[in-house]
Structure formats: structure tokens, C-alpha cells
Amino acid sequence: MRTLIVVTLLAVLVMAATCYESHESMESHEYLNPFLNRRRANDFIQADTRLRAISQERIRESSKKHLEHQRELCEDYYPCEMYAFRHGYAAAYKHYFGRRRTK
């Protein structure tokens, strides 16, 4: 019987220690009004800029000039890139990829 009383008192003390509402938590404005309006919510939640950057890159890829596409294609193919160092990208593209055009 005595151990039951001691265990009960210990349980009450543990519960009181862990469930204590401190003064600092009551100072927060969220204690009284936990909801934010839409304007305040957008202040600290930013849109994902990575997705925006990816979409901008896709737009830039679709609007690249013809010579830029040729240069990138030549840079991806190592022999063409080496040829371009000596003779220029236009000549290298024409040498490696110019003959492949078919109708």
C-alpha cells in the first residue's frame, strides 16, 4: 500500500513537471490568436525559387539562337570541340554536323 502511494505521488510530480504552462509561452501572441491572416503568412513562407529557376531555364533554352545551339552541340562532342579550338565553332559544326542534314 505504501509503494502505491509513493508511485502515485511520483506520477503526480512527473505530470506536474511536464505539463507546467510557463509564463514565456503565455507571452507569445500565438497563445491568444494562433491563426495568421494571409498577408502575414506570406511574409515568412517563400515560393520555391528552385522551381522558378528551372522554368526560366526552359524558357531560355527555347529562345536560344541558332549559333548557340550549334556551339552547345559541338561542345558536347569531344572531337568537334578540339576541332573548334583550332578552327572555330562554326567551322567545327560544319565539319562534323553539316553533312548530316537530310530532307
Q: Where does 45-88 have alpha helices with state H?
A: 49-62, 66-76, 78-87
Q: Establish if 69 belongs to a structural domain.
A: yes
Q: Establish if 71 belongs to a structural domain.
A: yes
pTM above 0.85, yes or no: no
Q: Establish if 77 belongs to a structural domain.
A: yes
Query: Which residues of the chain are modeled with pLDDT < 70?
Result: 20-34, 36, 38-48, 100-103
Q: Establish if 34 belongs to a structural domain.
A: no
**Structure confidence by residue, pLDDT tens digits, 73-85:** 888 889 999 999 9
Burial class (CB in 10 A: 0-12, 13-18, 19+), 94: middle
Task: Provide the pLDDT for residue 21.
Answer: 66
Task: Provide the pLDDT for residue 57.
Answer: 80
Domain count for the chain: 1
40 φ/ψ sector (left φ>0, alpha ψ -120 to 50, else beta): alpha
